[in-house]
Amino acid sequence: MNNENPGRACHLEVTLFGPAAASVLRTLDERYRVVTRTSPPSADTVVTIADIDQAGERAVLTLLWDTGHDVRSVLRREP
């Protein structure tokens, strides 16, 4: 993570092992501009969020972990 400017918004891509719960995706859609790409049911899920700050990123990861999702990777890109 970029600690130089923690409040700055970025593009976040989170890859999960397996499918994401529909309720979690709905929650993310309500809070952020989310684009979700999924593969066949047994494949990974990629959740992409544009324009999210570090606090939002932490909230997303906490939501995913608290709802039992296993995170494969997190990619954060500056705008």
Where is pLDDT greater, at 36 or 25? Answer: 25
pTM tops 0.95: no
Per DSSP, which regions of 17-77 are E strands? Answer: 34-38, 45-52, 71-77
Query: What are the sequence ranges of the domains in the chain?
Result: 21-77
Contact 63, 21 (CB under 8 A): no
Q: How far apart are CA 56 and CA 30, in angstroms?
A: 13
- Supply the angle between the helices 22-31 and 54-66 in degrees, to the nearest 10: 160
Residue 32 has pLDDT above 60, yes or no: yes
Residue 13 has pLDDT above 70, yes or no: yes
Residues composing the chain: 79
Where is pLDDT greater, at 43 or 6? Answer: 43
pLDDT at residue 76, as a whole number: 92
Q: How far apart are CA 52 and CA 55, in angstroms?
A: 8
